[in-house]
Structure 1
């Protein structure tokens, strides 16, 4: 069980780290006037 929780935690961290720059880019593309 412990290794399953560890694997889930790693996947969650990877997902969060991957989503942060994606959301920043999405916000920048949806609001070009503010990003300029």
Structure 2
């Protein structure tokens, strides 16, 4: 259970990091354009 919870949290953090990076990249392109 604990291992599964840690895996879920790690996955959520990874997804959050990807989304954040994408949003920043889109914002940077919009600002540059």
Fold equivalence (TM over 0.5): yes
Unpaired stretches in structure 2, ≥5 consecutive residues: none
| Relative contact order, higher structure (CA 8 A, sep 6+) | 1
Give the root-mean-square deviation of aligned CA atoms. Answer: 1.2
How many matched pairs?
Answer: 32
Q: Please state whether the residue corresponding to 1:29 is helix, strand or coil.
A: helix
Unpaired stretches in structure 1, ≥5 consecutive residues: none
Larger Rg: 1
Give me the TM-score of the superposition, normalised by structure 1: 0.65
